[in-house]
Amino acid sequence: MNEWSDETIRKALKAAFPPPLRLEPLRDLWPVLRERLDAPAQPVAWLDWAVVAVSAGLLLFLPGIAPILFYFL
C-alpha cells in the first residue's frame, strides 16, 4: 500500500472540486425571511389534531405501546 501525502490529497481534492463561480447569493434573503415571519400563522389541519388525539388515546389506554409510538413519531 502506498503512502499519500497531505499535499497530494489536497491537490487531488482541489482538482476534483473546483471552487464555485459565485461566492455571493443572487439576492438578499433577509427581506424574504422577514415577510415569512410577519405573515399570519397557518391554522393547524384537522388531520394533525386527529393524529394527536389518537396518539394520546393509545398512550392512555395502552401505555405499553409508548416505545412503538415514540419510534414512529
Would you report the helix, strand and coil content of the chain in percent, each value rounded to 5?
Answer: 65, 0, 35
3-state secondary structure of 20: coil
pLDDT in tens, 48-61: 999 999 989 989 99
DSSP state of 73: -
Please report, for the chain, the start and end positions of each structural domain, with discontinuous segments joined by +.
47-73
Look up the pTM and report it: 0.44
pLDDT in tens, 8-18: 888 888 888 88
